[in-house]
Amino acid sequence: MTVTERATPARVPDARSPFMRLADLLGDTPPGMPAINLAVGEPQHPVPPFVAPVLAQHTAAFGRYPGNAGTDGFRQAVAGWLGRRYRLPRPIAPLTEILVLGGSREGLFLAAIAAKRLAGERPGKPAILVPNPFYAPYSAGAVAAECEPVYLPATAQNGFLPDLDALDEPLLARTVAFYLASPANPQGSVASRDYLASAARLAQQHGFMLFADECYSEIYWKEPPAGALEVAGNDFANVAVFNSLSKRSSLPGLRIGFVAGDKRFIKPFLDLRAVSAPQVPVPAQEVAIHAYNDEAHVEENRALYRAKFDLADQIIGNRYGYQRPPGGFFLWLDVSQQGGSEAAALKLWKEAGVRVVPGSYAARPQADGSNPGEGYIRVAMVQDRATTAEALHRMVKVLG
């Protein structure tokens, strides 16, 4: 379907966090078996061994305020990693094209406000394009920026990515930003270089920002996913990528990430962060420097996820429309024959003690009333191998 002015969504019925909605759904219902939480995408793998020694070495730095942009050493480490990991058109400039973030979540939220300011006047109400299903800060950022979030269905029919050809000129003319996750949360779809290049061209032609959420970039099974900076041209024009150590290095509690790309966006974004976001402690940045210069722990982390998806291949097989996703650490399972997303999630909790997220909670209704997440559940493969195996066996037994 073409995304036109008439096809923008109607009033959002429930914009709360998926996890708040899940808590309400389950209520006081006790789990039918000892609980296993596969709802939250919080890595449970061991913390890399270098973390504690590095923190101890730099403890004194907790005694001073850090700079807002990040230390030179941190930004140089990120620049070095980006240059090794991706086929960039040129080396990225660490001090003008990279900023530290308190995790990518904070950056993705604030980016919408910065993009609105940068875009200037638009014909009609400013719009921010959001894949549907999506990561909640995209929509929250759009609302905070007083923009209309326009939800682009990312369904099986279009490879679980928004259909770029369906975007019409009036919508693109009022767009100030487009969020795109690759690998995607929750479906694990990976955008090709051609797809990313098309998205970057649209951003450059229509003067909006492409925000590429690449926080799952290092969890894949075959080829490393392409990155948006690879296709943005020598100036990285109209493109900013967001990443963190939460998934790559199993450090969700460290709360550190980065944004990199078009310096015309980076400078006003820094101005905004300087008055609205906390600085990132220097000891955490020192850990990040070590992490971005070490790939061994990343390969070990990836191997742990690979082993758990091998289990899914064996235990789930061809049930629930399962296909091993090319990236990320979620299962996106079709439970339309089991009563739909809420019914399946509630049944799994009541009978199996397995906590998962209804897919409808990760999405919003489209203009026609359909919800691209209805009929699916999101399963986070974050527990250890034995716990994961137990949970998958319970799911198959209960769902049939």
What is the span of the domain harbouring residue 323?
5-46+297-399
- Kindly state the helix (H) or strand (E) to which residue 109 belongs, with its residue range: helix 104-119
Alpha helices by DSSP H, 3-71 = 18-26, 51-57
271 and 316 in a single domain? The answer is no
Place of tokens 């099974």: 221
Instruction: Give 79's Cβ-side CA count (13 Å radius).
Output: 17
39 and 56 in a single domain? The answer is no
pTM: predicted TM-score of the whole model, two decimal places: 0.95
Identify the burial level of 53 via C-beta atoms within 10 angstroms of its C-beta, where 0-12 means exposed, 13-18 middle and 19 or more buried.
exposed
- Which of 294, 322, 354 marks a domain boundary? 294
SS3 63: helix
213 and 158 in a single domain? The answer is yes
340 and 285 in a single domain? The answer is no
Distance separating alpha carbons of residues 110 and 82, to the nearest angstrom: 22
Distance separating alpha carbons of residues 319 and 333, to the nearest angstrom: 8
233 and 304 in a single domain? The answer is no
Domain count, the chain: 2
pLDDT in tens, the chain (400 residues): 455 543 444 444 577 889 999 999 999 999 999 999 999 999 999 999 999 999 999 999 999 999 999 999 999 999 999 999 999 999 999 999 999 999 999 999 999 999 999 998 899 999 999 999 999 999 999 999 999 999 999 999 999 999 999 999 999 999 999 999 999 999 999 999 999 999 999 999 999 999 999 999 999 999 999 999 999 999 999 999 999 999 999 999 999 999 999 999 999 999 999 999 999 999 999 999 999 999 999 999 999 999 999 999 999 999 999 999 999 999 999 999 999 999 999 999 999 999 999 999 999 999 899 999 999 999 999 999 999 999 999 999 999 9
134 and 84 in a single domain? The answer is yes
Distance separating alpha carbons of residues 159 and 161, to the nearest angstrom: 5
Sign of the Cα torsion 69, 81, 217, 308 reads negative
CB atoms within 10 A of CB 41: 21
Contacts with 191 (C-beta within 8 Å, 6 or more apart), sequence order: 161, 180, 182, 199, 225, 226
Instruction: Please check whether residue 175 is in contact with residue 127, taking contact to mean a CB–CB distance below 8 angstroms.
Output: yes
100 and 193 in a single domain? The answer is yes
- Which of 259, 294, 329 marks a domain boundary? 294
Q: Which structure tokens are listed for 141?
A: 């950022």
SS3 317: coil
Contacts with 21 (C-beta within 8 Å, 6 or more apart), sequence order: 14, 358, 361
pLDDT of amino acid 7: 40
Distances (CA, A) of 177 to 200, 207, 335: 11, 9, 33
- Which of 252, 279, 294 marks a domain boundary? 294
269 and 353 in a single domain? The answer is no
Instruction: Please check whether residue 241 is in contact with residue 209, taking contact to mean a CB–CB distance below 8 angstroms.
Output: no
118 and 251 in a single domain? The answer is yes
Here the CATH number for the domain that contains residue 34 is 3.90.1150.10
Backbone angles phi, psi at 190, to 5 degrees: -120, 125
Distance from the first to the final alpha carbon of the chain: 34
Distance separating alpha carbons of residues 3 and 172, to the nearest angstrom: 10
Q: Enter the DSSP assignment of 243.
A: E
Burial annotation 292-329 (CB, 10 A radius, 16+ → b, else e): beeeebbeebbebbeebbebbeebbeebbebeebbbbb
Taking alpha carbons only, the member of 134, 136, 142, 199 closest to residue 160 is 134
